[in-house]
Amino acid sequence: MQEEKGTISIHTENIFPVIKKFLYSDNEIFLRELVSNAVDASQKIKRLGSLGQFAGEVGDLTVDVKFDEAAKTITISDSGIGMTADEIKKYINQIAFSGATEFMEKFKEANDANEIIGRFGLGFYSAFMVADRVEIDSLSFQEGAKAAHWTCDGSTSYEISAGTRTTRGTDVVLHINEDSKEFLNKAKIQEILEKYAKFLPIPIRFGTKSTSEPDGEDEEGKPKYKTVEVDNIINNTNPAWTKSPSELTDQDYLDFYRELYPYAMDEPLFWIHLNVDYPFNLTGILYFPKVKNELEIQRNKIKLYSRQVFITDEVKDIVPEFLMLLHGVIDSPDIPLNVSRSFLQADSNVKKINNYITKKVADKLQEIFKADRKGYEEKWNDIGLFIKYGMLSDEKFAEKAIDICLLQDTNENSYTIKEYYEKVKDIQVDKNGNIIYLYTNDKAQQDGFIAPALAKGYDVLNLDGQLDTHFTSFLEQKGGEKVQLKRVDADVIEKLIEKDEKIELTLSEEESKKANTVFEKAISRSDMKVEVDALNANDLPVSVTLDEFMRRMKDMAKTGGGMGFYGNLPDNYKVTVNGNHPLVKRIVDSSEEEGEKLAKQAFDLALLSRGLLTGADLTAFVKRSVEMI
């Protein structure tokens, strides 16, 4: 063919320096773009063959990636449909640059390489981020076609001449520039291919690798092995998510999890296979990992693909925030290969995908709950945080999950929210008709408050998770009519669930005032407010409590609940003196010195039971205790 020179028809003298400048931080995606193009070309010839529009032998469609450190080149070769000279002029010179003028006007708005490439169709030209010259040598599948060669040095000029390729397909040769020599490295190329091409549907070969295979037995009859060179195939062309669930066993799902996360310590609890083709296309597998009782939002654990091409592991605009705790893969051709965050936030398909995934997760949890309640309860410690996080952050998920969210009490019994309401609604009701849910966030530390509650026939919930400070408010709103939650150490039990029946105070009014005075003098702390109350004689003589409202606001402030003002306020405790306890009567009847000593000892015991007695006060308490024995 006759050699031809031309100019790429754009209105700027040189677009390539602009590409290099704005795509520099993401320059490794050039390899993703070019390998994806090669795979597309290979799939097209395969499709044409299946439709009878190509009569020749499709043959081996493996895409080859090679590099030559001495020649400073990287070559991507395929056996796809190839291109004629006219097609090269059409697809490379014109269509690829159809948005170039717009690009030059608007590139300042773009935030990253993905956004630039996605908006302006510059995928092929990402090669110029790392190359100062690019060559294409291609032979079309069309009968009688002649090989064509295209070259461009990064200016708007190009040359087309006769090519040298003798078999169908395309070679793209990148002459790597000085600033990008890091890509002329086997380990670097391997890393990029494994990141972006690990599950492409056409085999990707990158040289060879050494492997060990059986080689008979030695003289002692033990197996022998030899080292052989084999093709270094990067990808699994038929990953689990592309198959029908009916084709897969549990072991297949576990094996794929290991393929995705080879260094994971634990196996997933269960998984969801996503497969929908209307109103959008979506496939994938989401795994439920074991979630410790702390908010470990391990981002970048869900990988987003488009037609098996890796796009990103930042999926927060596609997957609801609480589902970021999951692991796995999502693949949707309705999400372009090159996406920007602004695109994701505005795209209607992305919103539909978000809602669909939320629904599928809720449906799967309901299915497990109904099929195996006992097994579900056993998994609760691993999935409870995830479900509560979802209920707090996603209203639609909360509507579905409220029937499968479990509450556990201090005796390790499990109840759904509705079941628990039925359990306590007739027993733990106060004089105003409020149904009081008692709870602890530290079973061992608050045992002194739990025991009196249990002795009265009440139940105490165990809410010791990181999100439970917020979840208590959710239960008050959604747990049932007139439900209130009170931490078991927020007051003495008689005050937490007040009844109409009143316990008479055995102390006279004068003795009560004296008891108050003695304790205030013995305690002598501005953050402790003393009250003498009529309680059961078998209850503790002194209790130290923190108001439920104030404590909850301060706890929410610690976890970023928007209550920062409360977090700066000092703690103010209530010291409840049990006026019916024999020790308090003894204190009132004692001398001033002896009474104060006993009052101080009783108060310190109350502090000790709360873990509030430390430092010099603890030392003084121990010394005083020894003296009193």
For the chain (629 residues), the mean pLDDT of every run of 10, in chain order, is 61 52 67 92 91 89 96 96 90 57 47 44 76 94 94 84 94 94 95 94 95 84 88 95 95 95 87 86 90 56 88 79 88 66 62 86 94 94 89 91 95 95 94 94 91 94 89 89 91 89 89 93 90 89 84 68 56 89 92 91 90 90 88
Contact between 579 and 533 (Cβ < 8 Å)? yes
Structure confidence at residue 16 (pLDDT): 57
Both ends of the chain: CA-CA distance in Å? 111
What is the per-residue pLDDT for 221?
Answer: 82
Res 347: pLDDT: 65
Q: Which two tokens stand for residue 401?
A: 């999950």
Q: How far is CA 486 from the centre of its chain?
A: 31
pLDDT value, residue 102: 47
Q: CA 373, CA 416: separation in Å to the nearest integer?
A: 11
CB atoms under 10 Å from CB of 480, counted, come to: 17
CATH 3.30.56.10 assigned to domain 509-628? The reply is no
Q: Any bridge partners for residue 532, and if so which?
A: 577
- Give just the sign of the alpha carbon dihedral 84, 89, 94, 97: positive
405-496 and 240-376 share a CATH fold: no
DSSP alpha helix (H) spans, 394-467:
395-401, 417-424, 447-455
Pick from 209, 211, 172: nearest CA to 187: 209
3-state secondary structure 132-167: EEEEEEEECCCCCCCCEEEEECCCCEEEEEECCCCC
Among 47, 328, 332, 309, smallest CA distance to 204 is for 309
Collapsing DSSP to helix, strand or coil, 550 comes out as helix
Q: What is the pLDDT of residue 90?
A: 80
| Distances in whole angstroms, Cα of residue 369 to Cα of each of 362, 363, 373 | 11, 10, 5
Report yes or no: 139 and 169 within 8 Å, Cβ to Cβ.
yes
How many Å apart are CA 540 and CA 560, to the nearest integer?
A: 35
Identity at 57, one-letter amino acid code: E
Residues 6 or more apart in contact with residue 539 via CB below 8 angstroms? 452, 492, 493, 494, 578, 581
Instruction: Give the C-alpha separation, 511 to 529, whole Å.
Output: 18
Q: Residue 599 contacts by C-beta under 8 Å, 6 or more apart in sequence? A: 518, 519, 521, 522, 523, 587
CATH architecture of 4-206: 2-Layer Sandwich (3.30)
Going by C-alpha positions, the residue among 305, 248, 286 that lies closest to residue 36 is 305
Write down the pLDDT at residue 372: 94
Nearest to 552 by CA among 479, 607, 489: 489
Task: Report whether 622 contacts 629 (CB < 8 A).
Answer: no
Return all residues near 146 (Cβ < 8 A) that are at least 6 apart. 1, 84, 85, 139, 162, 163
Helix 16-23 and helix 113-120, axial crossing angle in degrees, nearest 10: 140
Q: What pLDDT shows up at residue 571?
A: 77
Contact yes or no for 382/291 (Cβ under 8 A): yes
| Dihedral class, residue 273 (left if φ above 0, else alpha if ψ from -120 to 50, else beta) | beta
From the list 486, 441, 440, the residue with the least C-alpha distance to 466 is 441
The two three-digit tokens of residue 541, written as one number: 């003589």
The predicted pLDDT at position 157 comes to 81
Measured CA to CA, the distance from residue 494 to residue 471 in angstroms comes to: 25
| The token pair that represents 439 in the structure block | 């709870």
Are the beta carbons of 80 and 45 closer than 8 angstroms? yes
Burial of 92: CB neighbours in 10 Å, binned 0-12, 13-18, 19+: buried
Q: Say whether domain 405-496 belongs to CATH 3.40.50.11260.
A: yes
CB 223 within 8 A of CB 260: no
Q: How far apart are CA 419 and CA 423, in angstroms?
A: 6
pLDDT of amino acid 312:
82
Which pLDDT belongs to residue 25? 55
Structure letter (DSSP) for residue 302: E
Q: Where are the domains of the chain?
A: 4-206, 240-376, 405-496, 509-628
The C-alpha atoms of residue 554 and residue 572 are separated, in whole angstroms, by: 12
Cβ contact 452:446 at 8 Å:
no
The pLDDT of residue 292 is 61
Q: How confident is the model at residue 615, as a pLDDT?
A: 92
The closest alpha carbon to 584, from 548, 628, 531, 621, belongs to 531
Detail the residues annotated as belonging to a binding site for ATP.
33, 37, 78, 83, 98-99, 170, 341
Count other C-beta atoms under 10 Å from residue 452's C-beta: 20
Cα 597 to Cα 345: distance, rounded to the nearest angstrom:
67
CB 427 within 8 A of CB 434: no
Residue in 289, 297, 295 with CA at minimum distance from that of residue 272: 289
* Residues 229/210, Cβ–Cβ less than 8 Å: yes
CATH fold of 240-376 reads Ribosomal Protein S5; domain 2 (3.30.230)
pLDDT value at position 556? 66
Q: What is the pTM of this model?
A: 0.77
pLDDT, residue 12, reads: 42
Give residue for tokens 């108050």. 516
Q: Which residues pair with 310 in a beta bridge?
A: 305
Tokens of 210: 């050494």
